[in-house]
Amino acid sequence: MRESQQRIGAVVMAAGAGRRMGHVPKGLLRRGGEPLLLRQIRLLAEAGVDEAVVVLGHHAERLEPVLRQAGSAPRGMALRWVANPAPDEGPGASLRCGLAALPDGLTTLLVMLADQPLLELQDVQAMLAAWRARAAGVELAVPQHAGQPGHPIVFGPLVRGQVLRAQGGAGVREWRRAHGDQVLLVPLSHARCTTDVDTPDDVQRLGRDFGVWLE
């Protein structure tokens, strides 16, 4: 299939309660005045994603107005959002909500977290490039730094279908454990894909170690 025929969909995971952050929706933390959730959406659009779905949950009522303000995403990416009615079931349940909301016929699917403040466009592009260059039989690409897996992850219709048929909180993590020979680990020399923020201490560490201060 020629690259021009590829259609890319993305799911942004933003359904969590943020309990360790004091019940703050982490996607509303700002880097340089830009909410992290909107920053992720912008990176996806700039990377050439065609369709993106944001999965909301505990803080839907606070995140929806921000998404409405975003209006049309840059570069023509279609943007929508859905609410997971049972966000405490786990990330697999939220991912299924997002995957189900994406149209059929997508050749590439990318999953990103809403609270990754260090991600840059080149990271999304690198994962898409690794996916395009994958060997036969590879169904999932995962970035890895210092032995730790990160996001965004990339997969195709086969994994999408199997995750959609999973139950409860089961998702890509469980699929990966059962199909290690079909997983491409993409080694990285930096921690941008493996850094998220779960606690106020994480926010302080981000500023101290990387010079990135969130508001």
The whole-number pLDDT of residue 169 equals: 76
Q: Residue ranges per domain, the chain?
A: 3-209
The whole-number pLDDT of residue 4 equals: 44
Record: fold of 3-209: Spore Coat Polysaccharide Biosynthesis Protein SpsA; Chain A (3.90.550)
Closest CA to 49 of 159, 148, 131, 135: 131
Reduced DSSP (H G I as helix, E B as strand, rest coil) percent helix, strand, coil of the chain, to 5:
45, 20, 35
Cα-based distances in Å from 78 to 3, 39, 44, 48, 72: 19, 16, 11, 11, 7
| Helix (H), strand (E) at residue 56 | strand 51-56
The whole-number pLDDT of residue 101 equals: 97
Close Cβ partners of 198 (under 8 Å, ≥ 6 residues apart):
20, 21, 26, 115
Asked if residue 60 lies in contact with residue 31, where contact means CB atoms within 8 angstroms, the answer is no
The whole-number pLDDT of residue 28 equals: 93
The whole-number pLDDT of residue 5 equals: 65
Q: Which residues of the chain have pLDDT under 50?
A: 1-4
- Phi and psi of 181, rounded to 5°? -75, -5
